[in-house]
């Protein structure tokens, strides 16, 4: 099984015998991009891909984010966002939250959460957290399946 292709194609193949799981994950994915600023979410999706070593996802741009003005110069500096001047307060707090989420979600402290809540509001934080869950889970599924079933660089 090859993993040198889009995550949607991988999901379609692995979940071919579980169409309800696949359909509901697709619904959650679509809802994520309409519930959260797509540029912010795509920056965080790309940061997740960097941390998980998911090269296919790193090479992908979500159409909703591109349409909303995703800045490729910012993407180029994403790995070094702490020092880059291209990211504002919302992006910086969301990226810090995302990194903690990926690396050790159980270690998420109040300061990281409250900083993002200050930027997004309570509803925004709830939406962002749920959207990030969808973004992260798709990539973790992809990486886990790649490790199990082989093929491609992710």
Partner 1 sequence: MAERAHRITPGVGAARPLRRALGAWQAAVVRLDGVDPITTELVRLRCARYHDCHT
**By the criterion CB under 8 A, which residues form the site for partner 1?**
18, 20-21, 24-25, 27-28, 30-32, 34-35, 105-106, 110, 113-114, 117, 122-123, 125-127, 129-131, 133-134
Least distance to partner 1, CB of residue 73, Å: 30
Are the CB atoms for 56 and 154 separated by under 8 Å? yes
Q: Angle at the Cα of 27 (from 61 to 112), degrees rounded to 5?
A: 65
For partner 1, give the closer residue by CB, 72 or 110.
Answer: 110
Residue 62 φ then ψ, to 5°: -75, 130
For partner 1, give the closer residue by CB, 26 or 50.
Answer: 26
Least distance to partner 1, CB of residue 36, Å: 9
For partner 1, give the closer residue by CB, 5 or 24.
Answer: 24
Least distance to partner 1, CB of residue 23, Å: 8
DSSP letter for 53, please.
T
For partner 1, give the closer residue by CB, 80 or 122.
Answer: 122
Alpha helices in the chain (DSSP H): 7-14, 19-35, 38-52, 55-59, 63-67, 72-76, 89-104, 110-149
Say how many Å lie between the first and final Cα of the chain, rounded. Answer: 12
Least distance to partner 1, CB of residue 32, Å: 6
């Amino acid at each position: 099984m090859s993993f040198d292709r889009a995550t949607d194609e991988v999901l379609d193949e692995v979940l071919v015998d579980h169409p309800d799981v696949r359909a509901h994950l697709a619904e959650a994915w679509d809802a994520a991009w309409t519930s959260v600023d797509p540029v912010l979410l795509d920056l965080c999706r790309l940061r997740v891909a960097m941390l998980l070593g998911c090269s296919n996802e790193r090479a992908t741009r979500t159409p909703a984010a591109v349409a909303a003005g995703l800045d490729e110069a910012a993407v180029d500096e994403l790995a070094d966002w702490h020092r880059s001047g291209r990211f504002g307060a919302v992006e910086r707090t969301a990226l810090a939250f995302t990194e903690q989420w990926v690396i050790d979600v159980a270690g998420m402290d109040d300061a990281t959460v409250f900083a993002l809540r200050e930027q997004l509001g309570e509803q925004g934080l709830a939406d962002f957290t749920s959207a990030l869950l969808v973004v992260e889970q798709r990539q973790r599924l992809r990486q886990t399946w790649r490790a199990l079933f082989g093929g491609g660089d992710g």
